[in-house]
Structures are given as C-alpha cells and as structure tokens.
C-alpha cells in the first residue's frame, strides 16, 4: 500500500520538530533540503563551498570543500544548475568517514552527504563523481545548521560544466535563501490591561490580574484595520503558546509559540496534530515581532493579517474559536517539551476581532471539576459524618425514632446512600470526558474503580444484614466495618493522587496540606469521642455504694455524654464544611 506523500511529510516534520536530525539521517529532506526546525532560514550565508575545478567529464572526480564558522550539521547535494528543483545528480565519496556519511536521495545511491553527529565542525571535504548522464551544468548546494533554529538552506556553491558547452547560467540564488524575514524588536516595559474590554479582547488568569505581575498569564488581541495585534505574557522561562481551536480538544488547531532560546525569544506559528508536539512552520506571516525577558516573565507581541489564504493552517480571525493558553519548558536549543499542566481554555467560542471583552478561562474541564467536587462532598462530608453517627450516637439517639426506625440508623443510612449516589455520578464523569479509559492518570483511576466497587458492595451487603441477635451478626458487623474503612482509606489516597493530575491540578502545596488537615481533623474527632466514651464507662463503674446511686450516676453520665457528643458532632460538621468549601473554591479557581 502506497503512503500518501503528504502523510509522510507530516510524520517527518513532526519527528524532526521533536528531535531534529542530530545523527545526520536527513533523507526525508532530500527534495527541499529544509530542516523541520520550526523557524525561517537565515538570509546571508556565513559558509562557502569551493571546488578544485570548473570542468568535468562523466566519471571525473571533483573535490568539494565546505568551510566557515562552527556548525553542527550539513547537507550537500549536486543538482542540474538549470533545473535546481530536479533530483540530485551524481554520487559522492567520503573523505572523512568519522564526521560524514553518504545518503541516497531518490533513486541515486550516495547522491548526498550529511553529518554523523552534532559535534561542532568548521570544514568538510567530500568528492563528487560525475555520472554518465550528467547535465551540462551542475551546481553544488549545501544546507548548514549552526544551531537548532539557526540554519541556512541551499547555500549556492560553484557551478561546474562539461567542456565545449554553452556558457554557464548566472549563479542561482535559491528561494529559501531569499525568503522574507521580519525584523524583531525589544519590548521596553510590561503590557497594560487598561484597555481590556474597551479596545482589546483580553484573557487573564487569574481573573483581572496585572500583566506586570510574576503570576499573571495575559493574552490580548487588538484589531487594527485588516490585521490583529497580539500580546502574550506570563511566568515562564521556557515557552508560552496559544492556539485557536474549533473545540476544547487539542488537534487541528492554529498555534503561536514564543520560545526562549538562549535568552532570546523566537516567535513562530505551528499546527497542532492531535495530542502531539506542534508541527512548527518553516516560515510564518507574523510582522512587528517583539519580545522581552525580565524577572521570570516572558513577553512577546506580533501582528498578523485577519485572513491569510496563502498560509495553510492559519485560521481566519474574524470567526469564533476556543482559545488555548499554555506554558512549558524548553531546552537551550529551543526544543520545547510537553506542558506539565492543563492548558488554560476559554469556556466558550469567542471572536477576537469582534466586541472587546475581558475574560478568564479554566485549566480544568467542567466535567472534571464536577467529578472532583462530588467526590469531595461524598467523602469529606456525608461518609465522615455518617461513620461518626453510627459509631458514637447509638446510645444517644437509641430512644428517638424516625419513620419507625431508630434516629441514628436513619441518619446513617441516608448519609451513606447519598454517598453511593454522589460517588456513582462522579465516577461516570471522567469516562464521559475522556471517551474511555485514561492512560495518563497513573494509579488514580484504578484506585477509583476499587472505591466504586466497595461503595456498591457496602449497601448490598447491608441489605442482607442478620437480625440483631443472630449468630452471624457479629461476623456481619466485622465485614461491614472493614469494607467501609477500606473504602474510606482508598478514597482518601485516591483524592490525594487526583488533586495533582493535570486535568485538575489544585494549587500546590496547599491541596496536600488541606487534605492532611482533614484526615487529622477526622482522626482527632474519632479519638476524642473514643476517649470520652471510655471515661464515661469508667466513671460509672467506680460508683459502688448502692444500686440507687449507681442508677443515678449512670443517668447523669448518660446525660453528660449526650450533651458532649452533640457539641462535638456540631463542631465536627462545621469543620468538615469549612474543608469542603475550601476545596470547592480551589476547584472553581483552576
């Protein structure tokens, strides 16, 4: 089955944008000789190509010498000087097998030479062997990579000709070498949000933050006749990027990146293909590019036309899109890494050239927020309170009845059934959001499934509860307690793991301390009530004067215990509500 050429090109550029060609195996770039490094080639070559002769006959060998300032990679071909768009001609012989290697471009074996590693070099010598069907005029071309984003494409070399042919054509300068390049300037001060919602369409996170602060992510668009001026800033020493998308998922998007490369910011456009590294464009249509790096904040700005029909992958800016804003790390050579946290995504479709607005965004999808909120409600409030009631309020509420059952039992059952309902709804939401199982959530989904199973098993087991005085009642009580306790422990561990997943990612280290505080609060309340119950029993046992006094003391102890437990339960519920509200506020702000 033949693979379409476009698909091959997509794969090649995607791979190259991630790792480049450090081993020199650049056969995929045989035709264009353009490295997929996501930037435009330099204009004025610093390197030269020389040969030891100007004439050749079929079978002759010509020495080709490449020299200039330090460079990491190179790619040399010989082509028909009158038709440089045609495939390479002739073959090469190596002079230095340690630093160079032969490649096959098209159907011609050994028709190109490239580097073997990124080791810096200043010169390279190879030998070209003229084929039997050589064209009348042959020109040598070279692509030189000084650094990942600094390279020259198809540097024109000498033209060699067969004897007794018409004069050589004028030295050909390749289109890549003369591609337009827009000047880059330096931003003198932080951006301003004073025009947001008035003349600018702005996205800020946190909401209404100052772009000059070290914690503010800022993106603005200002329409100027047929173009849009864009400003982007945020706390990053690697890269900032934003993208226009038709939905809230990565893939098929129009992206713009500002990458810190050796303390200089490179601004480029890219296409996003599903959940993968961006496919950087070799050229872009951005104008008035400027940048600034100061105090850990990266700023960049540029202008682009609202419509760019000549540039594939660039969206028309007079339509509505979801807008993504993301930050991440980058290597010294400008290679970007996957962002560690969820992108900031607008909650709806927006037209940046329409009515100016000042909006925020969310790094957590709504379904994931609902998942976290429901789990917190279930396992911080309803379960915890239900356990305390069942364990310590049997003697306190044993004489009170609700719908024909003891009050403590009805309250306990109501809270536990609420937990089952909330957990079941919450359990389904991530699967709806992901469309299936998540492979990037670690142990969280596995433990979540275990909690869900125990949550369903617990009420089913309670439905077969033996009568109070049945021989198997003690065995049931033990299983009921152990299943519930296991579910609660696993639920807490699962919440610990889920709080730091990229899809939610509550603020660190606050979320960890808050969860530890809740566990300590619950355990402390449990221990306090256990100690209190033990003291009441001991107090009653010490009174042995007469039966009346014992009964009076037990009655007094019972009243005292009831009041104390009710006060503790009230304080405990208030404390749980405080923890719950804190977590819900945190979820709402991500």
- CATH number, domain of 356, equals 2.60.40.1210
Q: Could you tell me if 153 and 200 lie in one domain?
A: no
> Is 123 among the domain residues?
yes
pLDDT at position 394 is: 82
On the question of pLDDT at 8 being above 50, the answer is no
Pairing, β 137-147 against β 100-105: unpaired
> Is 528 among the domain residues?
yes
Please report, for the domain that includes residue 584, its CATH number.
Answer: 1.20.120
Q: Could you tell me if 142 and 47 lie in one domain?
A: yes
pLDDT at position 260 is: 87
> Is 18 among the domain residues?
no
pLDDT at position 167 is: 61
> Is 173 among the domain residues?
no
Distance CA 261, CA 332 (A): 6
Residues 6+ apart with CB under 8 A from 395: 558, 561
Which segment of 1-5, 526-530, 583-587 scores lowest on mean pLDDT?
A: 1-5
Q: Could you tell me if 357 and 371 lie in one domain?
A: no
Which segment of 133-142, 334-343, 463-472 scores lowest on mean pLDDT?
A: 334-343
On the question of pLDDT at 345 being above 60, the answer is yes
**Per the confidence metrics, is the pTM higher than 0.75?**
no
Q: Could you tell me if 353 and 372 lie in one domain?
A: no
pLDDT at position 44 is: 77
To 5 degrees, how large is the angle CA 427–CA 428–CA 430? 85
Q: Which of 329, 362, 395 is the last residue of a domain?
A: 362
Q: Could you tell me if 317 and 378 lie in one domain?
A: no
Q: Which of 362, 380, 403 is the last residue of a domain?
A: 362
Q: Which of 343, 362, 381 is the last residue of a domain?
A: 362
Structure tokens at 530: 């256990």
Which segment of 247-256, 278-287, 385-394 scores lowest on mean pLDDT?
A: 278-287
Q: Could you tell me if 436 and 317 lie in one domain?
A: no
379 vs 366, 484, 485, 528, 583, CA distance in Å?
A: 20, 11, 12, 21, 12
Helix %, strand %, coil % of the chain (to 5): 35, 30, 40
Q: Could you tell me if 136 and 69 lie in one domain?
A: yes
Q: Could you tell me if 377 and 493 lie in one domain?
A: yes
Which segment of 21-30, 109-118, 360-369, 391-400 scores lowest on mean pLDDT?
A: 21-30
Q: Could you tell me if 581 and 451 lie in one domain?
A: yes
pLDDT single digits (tens) 316-327: 999 999 999 999
Which segment of 46-50, 375-379, 503-507 scores lowest on mean pLDDT?
A: 503-507
Which segment of 55-59, 172-176, 280-284, 306-310 scores lowest on mean pLDDT?
A: 172-176
What proportion of the chain, given as a percentage, has pLDDT over 90?
A: 46
Please tell me the total count of domains within the chain: 3
Q: Which domain holds residue 405?
A: 366-589
Q: Is 322 helix (H, G, I), strand (E, B) or coil?
A: strand
Q: Could you tell me if 219 and 331 lie in one domain?
A: yes
199 pLDDT band (50/70/90 cuts)?
Answer: very high
pLDDT at position 442 is: 87
Distance CA 82, CA 526 (A): 89
> Is 347 among the domain residues?
yes
201 pLDDT band (50/70/90 cuts)?
Answer: very high
> Is 180 among the domain residues?
no
> Is 12 among the domain residues?
no
């Amino acid at each position: 089955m033949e693979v379409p050429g476009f698909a091959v090109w997509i794969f090649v550029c995607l791979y190259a944008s991630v790792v480049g060609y450090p081993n020199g195996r650049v056969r995929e770039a045989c035709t264009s000789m353009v490295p997929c490094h996501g930037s435009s080639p330099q204009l004025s070559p610093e390197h030269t190509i020389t040969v030891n002769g100007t004439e050749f006959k079929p079978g002759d060998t010509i020495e080709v010498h490449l020299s200039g300032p330090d460079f990491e990679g190179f790619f040399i071909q010989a082509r028909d000087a009158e038709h440089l768009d045609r495939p390479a001609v002739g073959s090469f012989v190596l002079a230095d097998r340690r630093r160079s290697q032969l490649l096959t471009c098209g159907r011609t074996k050994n028709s190109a030479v490239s580097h073997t590693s990124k080791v810096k070099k200043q010169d390279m010598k190879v030998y070209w062997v003229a084929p039997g069907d050589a064209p009348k005029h042959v020109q040598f071309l070279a692509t030189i990579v000084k650094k990942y984003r600094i390279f020259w494409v198809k540097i024109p070399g000498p033209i060699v000709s067969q004897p007794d042919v018409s004069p050589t054509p004028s030295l050909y300068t390749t289109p890549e070498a003369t591609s337009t390049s827009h000047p880059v300037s330096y931003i003198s001060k932080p951006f301003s949000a004073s025009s947001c919602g008035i003349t600018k369409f702005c996205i800020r996170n946190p909401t209404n933050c100052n772009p000059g602060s070290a914690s503010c992510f800022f993106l603005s668009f200002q329409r100027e006749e047929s173009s849009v001026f864009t400003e982007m800033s945020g706390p990053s020493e690697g890269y900032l990027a934003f993208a226009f998308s038709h939905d809230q998922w990565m893939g098929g998007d129009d992206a713009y990146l500002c990458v810190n490369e050796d303390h200089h910011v490179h601004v480029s456009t890219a296409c996003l293909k599903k959940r993968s590294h961006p496919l950087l464009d070799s050229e872009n249509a951005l104008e008035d590019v400027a940048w600034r790096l100061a105090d850990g904040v990266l700023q960049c700005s540029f202008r682009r036309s609202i419509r760019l029909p000549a540039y594939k992958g660039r969206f028309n800016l007079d339509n509505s899109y979801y807008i993504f804003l993301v930050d991440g790390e980058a290597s010294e050579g400008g290679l970007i890494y996957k962002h560690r946290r969820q992108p900031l995504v607008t909650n709806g479709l927006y037209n940046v050239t329409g009515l100016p607005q000042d909006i925020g965004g969310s790094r957590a999808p709504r379904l994931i927020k609902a998942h976290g909120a429901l789990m917190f409600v279930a396992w911080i409030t309803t379960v915890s309170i239900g356990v305390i009631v069942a364990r310590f309020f049997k003697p306190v509420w044993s004489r009170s009845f609700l719908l024909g059952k003891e009050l403590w039992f009805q309250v306990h059952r109501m809270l536990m059934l609420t937990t089952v309902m909330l957990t079941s709804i919450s359990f389904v939401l991530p699967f709806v959001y992901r469309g299936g199982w998540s492979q990037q959530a670690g142990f969280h989904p596995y433990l979540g499934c275990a909690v869900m199973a125990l949550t369903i098993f617990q009420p089913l087991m309670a439905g077969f509860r033996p009568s109070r005085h049945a021989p198997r009642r003690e065995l049931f009580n033990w299983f009921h307690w152990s299943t519930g306790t296991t579910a609660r422990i696993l639920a807490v561990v699962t919440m610990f793991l889920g709080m730091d997943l990229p899809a939610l990612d509550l603020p660190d280290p606050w979320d960890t301390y808050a969860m530890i505080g809740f566990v300590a609060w619950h355990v402390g309340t449990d221990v306090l009530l256990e100690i209190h119950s033990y003291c009441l029993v001991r107090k009653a046992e010490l009174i042995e004067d007469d039966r009346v006094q014992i009964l009076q003391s037990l009655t007094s102890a019972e009243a005292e215990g009831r009041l104390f437990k009710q006060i503790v339960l009230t304080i405990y519920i208030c404390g749980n509500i405080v923890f719950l509200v804190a977590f819900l506020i945190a979820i709402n702000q991500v």
